Structure 1
Amino acid sequence: MPRHAVTLSRLAHAASGRLLAARHARSLARHEMRRRILTGALGVVVFLATTMGMAYSNLQGNIGRHDVDDLLGDDRPTRDDGQEPPDDPQQGEPLNILVMGSDVRTEDDPDYGETLGMRSDTTMIAHVSADRSRVEVVSIPRDTLVDIPSCQLPDGGETAEQYDAMFNSAFALGGQTGDVAYGAACTWKTVEALTGIPIDDFVVVDFAGFEAVVDALDGVPMYIPEPIDDQRADLSLEAGCQVLNGHEALGYARVRYGVSGDGSDISRISRQQQLVAAIAREALSVHLLTNVPALYRFLDASTKTLTTGDWVGQLPNMAGVATSLRGIEPDEIRFATMPFDWAGARVVPSSDAEAMWENMRADRPIDADITGTGEEPTTEEPTSEEPTSEEPTTQEPTTEEPSEETTPECTR
């Protein structure tokens, strides 16, 4: 065989080897690239899962949950259909949550009041309709004269029944050892005895932590109808549209002096309702559910202020209620104060109060003072979609005419 033929054969074999080596190298490179991409993607998934898990754990850990069922006794109102509160709050059953604002006073914080110790300055029943189309929030004045049932104490003892006692003393009686859950349970029993409304669970909001909730929203736009200068509440505001920060919002919720009114709890309730309505409007307007960082900041601040019952304090249940209410508009959130008559410097439930409680028990709309828009309702709600054989006494209908003086709409 000629020498040049052997040389060509060797050259061809070498070229083929180099081609195979190049293909193998490219294959290894592609494999390495896929491995890196898969490893990177897995790392991202693990990071997100860990971050979300930590966020969930942090938020759930913020909430102080207490099971108070054993503290409520057996003499409680029941639902007409006998059903328990829904495990899936998105469907089918009304929800009644007792909301209390806890204001703990110490010798270092005397300006907001004379009484030291733990007490509930604000108590509301938040009713969520079964079809999740409306939310009604009814304030019970703290100065209401009520009968307070005997309540259990952490040491196994019980408090004595109280007659014609101030309503907010129920929280102080049950919580006299400093245990918020026992204070909440005593208030819960008192509310059920007063209204006959079956309460599903409770939330206690720490007033001091309330500042962080407002600050997490970067403040709350609100119309201030008159200048306020109250050193006791550490509050000075000009009249007109303002964006209240957390400290100012807390002062506005507490303020009694330097404003129109008689300095009583009754005059303060309307300002608190206006403030809660403004917070609801702001939370709805900034689309929290689609802004993950803002949502986490808000939830982190909110959950740190809460002590709750066992059911409502579970984040999946909270999320279920929030999701089922995601389409609600501010005018479908309504605020009212328990109808009352004056009894000297105190108040007692009026004859119209029972009509309000009956409508709430039957999941019918109630007459409201303002809506989440900050305005009075402009239309009269129907009493019931399906007439029943037992109708409650009719409350005085709200006017269908808009108020002559409308509150300016404030924005940032």
Structure 2
Amino acid sequence: MAGSHKARGGHGGDRPVSGRRRKRSRARIAAALTLSILVLLVAGTGWVYLQLNGSITTFGADGVSQDRPTSGVGGSDVLVIGSDSRSGDNSKLGGGEGDVGRSDTAFLLHVYGDSKHAVAVSIPRDALVDIPPCKLPSGSWTRSQHNVMFNSAFSVGQTAKGNPACAQNTVEKLTGLRVDHTVVVDFEGFSKITSAVGGVSVCLPKDVYQGDLNPNRGSRGKVLLTKGTHPVAGQQALDYVRLRHGIGDGSDIGRIKRQQAFVSSLIKKVKSQDMSPSALLPLANAATESMTVDPGLGSADKLISFVMSMKDIDLHNTKFITLPWRYQGARVAIVHPEADALWAALRADRTVDGKDASGKSKQGTKDDGGSDGPTDVPSRRASVPGRGVRVAVYNGTTVPGLAARAADDLKASGFSVTVTATASSQGHAATVIRYGPGQGGRARPLARLLPGAEVQQVTASGISVTLGKSYADHPALGVAASSGVPSEVAGKTRSADDGPCSNLSYG
């Protein structure tokens, strides 16, 4: 009986035991569900990374010049190239013939050290520049080319994928800025990106026909784009940014303005959208599937990290400007010293209106990225590595004592001045820095100290400076950087928060 009682008592005690088991069971189920969700999340994230990684194409870094500018005061520089190659899926998107990669548009994006400002400088495709030696598919290197169109650099080697490294070398030679990353987007990628964001607003003064896009058609054809302000995506977006002859004077400069307006609208649209993974994945897929990047951006985590570094730049502080230019016959000549002042400002991490956006105060601490004060000359001097660098200084103007004055400035930065003398001619407008083989890395920092300086490679050994009127007008170190760029250039700047119809001349 007692045993029966214990058994009953034991049975009678089942209820609390069963409750505990149910609680443990629920806990196990909850833990299993949580674990399953975590596994799915991790697996999903891994799948996304694998998918993005598998879509990213890189170009070889072996074609990048070994003779490169040193890093600037702060910030980073990214060369963005729009390729109009008609190979692969691009062939169905129209325009042009052949499968040689060509640079249809290009801009240098400077992201300032404070991570709160950025400026994109458009480089006209017809701008006359010097192209340094570039690597061919065979492994050999070309000779330097003088006074040729900028877009021909991307076509060196005549391959369907183009030559991003050659374009990067050319931009570094042109600007004196070290290009940290290069990104190439082709027709197909551009079309997909605009569709992924649901369209981008554009502004048109009139209807655009097939004949406007292709003047060789012989007839107006169908309407491609209608008058007014409205969103475009896919093929229509591509037609808009490629349009040259249908609006305004038919110039490439006019098209650059419309492209700047388009990219502004694209940035605005992306920032206005939900930033959840589900919303960003189609855009990320569209971007990576048709992009070619340098090895430094060749993985999903590197690419995402780079994009996230720009998340705090607001629309108003995202600027667009065109490299100062003038027509030279059917081509475009770069205007000096205005262009020199622009590059000098970027090298010093100053905005086009002269504000310090390096993110560092005069004491080297973080500031608000928008100081209006002049550049701190001692800190500017300290940022330029002059120790052990020997320089000959020549006065290329009629201003007496200019070489000696410049020599004192250079010595304050640690440079060793071997000669101060009068140049063979005294009519120099711009200061010219010349350097021999293998001396580019030592010579280019001088451009950060000498307002409006041009940098040229020559066959003679050593480094020399021929001072021009630009230095005579602004002899103090840091003047070019602290004053930004000329007002007539800065006045043509566009902000990403401008409307799609603002600051457009339609050519």
Category of TM-score, reference length = shorter chain:
0.7 to 0.9
Q: Does 1:213 align with 2:304?
A: no
Pick from 333, 349, 355: which aligns with 1:363?
349
Q: Does 1:267 align with 2:254?
A: yes
Distance 1:40 1:280, change over 3 A: same
Letter of the 2:75 partner, please give it. Answer: P
Q: Which residue of 2 aligns with 1:226?
A: 206
Q: Which residue of 2 aligns with 1:95?
A: 76
Distance 1:166 1:408, change over 3 A: closer
Pick from 36, 47, 62: which aligns with 2:55?
62
Identify the range of structure 1 (228-237 vs 184-193) with the bigger mean alpha-carbon deviation.
228-237
Separation in structure 1 between the aligned mates of residue 267 and residue 140 of structure 2, nearest angstrom: 40
Q: Which residue of 1 aligns with 2:64?
A: 72
Q: Which residue of 2 aligns with 1:386?
A: 375
Separation in structure 2 between the aligned mates of residue 329 and residue 310 of structure 1, nearest angstrom: 28
Letter of the 1:130 partner, please give it. Answer: G
Q: Which residue of 1 aligns with 2:277?
A: 292
Separation in structure 2 between the aligned mates of residue 160 and residue 115 of structure 1, nearest angstrom: 25
Contact 2:196 2:282 in 1 (8 A): yes
- The aligned runs of 1:196-207 (5 Å cut-off) are 196-207=176-187
Q: Equivalent residue of 1:125, what SS?
A: strand
Separation in structure 2 between the aligned mates of residue 177 and residue 245 of structure 1, nearest angstrom: 29
1:26-53 deviation per Cα after TM superposition (whole angstroms, max 9, x unaligned): 4433333322222222111111110111
- The aligned runs of 1:314-353 (5 Å cut-off) are 314-351=299-336, 352-353=338-339
Distance 1:166 1:399, change over 3 A: closer
Separation in structure 2 between the aligned mates of residue 10 and residue 115 of structure 1, nearest angstrom: 97
Q: Which residue of 2 aligns with 1:141?
A: 124
Q: Does 1:177 align with 2:159?
A: yes
1:241-293 deviation per Cα after TM superposition (whole angstroms, max 9, x unaligned): 201122211110101122222x22222111111100000011111142xx221
TM-score, length basis structure 2: 0.67
Distance 1:133 1:385, change over 3 A: farther
Pick from 17, 38, 41: which aligns with 1:45?
38
1:293-314 deviation per Cα after TM superposition (whole angstroms, max 9, x unaligned): 1111111111112111111333
Separation in structure 1 between the aligned mates of residue 501 and residue 55 of structure 2, nearest angstrom: 34
Q: Does 1:240 align with 2:233?
A: no
TM-score, length basis structure 1: 0.81
Letter of the 1:209 partner, please give it. Answer: G
Contact 2:72 2:178 in 1 (8 A): no
Distance 1:43 1:23, change over 3 A: same
Q: Which residue of 2 aligns with 1:32?
A: 25
- Aligned pairs, how many? 370
Contact 1:364 1:384 in 2 (8 A): no
Separation in structure 2 between the aligned mates of residue 166 and residue 367 of structure 1, nearest angstrom: 29
Q: Equivalent residue of 1:258, what SS?
A: coil
Q: Equivalent residue of 1:357, what SS?
A: helix
Separation in structure 1 between the aligned mates of residue 135 and residue 373 of structure 2, nearest angstrom: 39
Q: Does 1:117 align with 2:100?
A: yes
Alpha-carbon offset, residue 66 of structure 1 = 3.4
Q: Equivalent residue of 1:335, what SS?
A: strand
Contact 2:197 2:269 in 1 (8 A): yes
Separation in structure 1 between the aligned mates of residue 273 and residue 237 of structure 2, nearest angstrom: 18
Identify the range of structure 1 (382-391 vs 277-286) with the bigger mean alpha-carbon deviation.
382-391
Q: Which runs of 5+ in 2 are unaligned?
A: 215-221, 355-369, 378-476, 503-507
Letter of the 1:104 partner, please give it. Answer: S
Separation in structure 2 between the aligned mates of residue 408 and residue 311 of structure 1, nearest angstrom: 33
Separation in structure 2 between the aligned mates of residue 367 and residue 188 of structure 1, nearest angstrom: 26
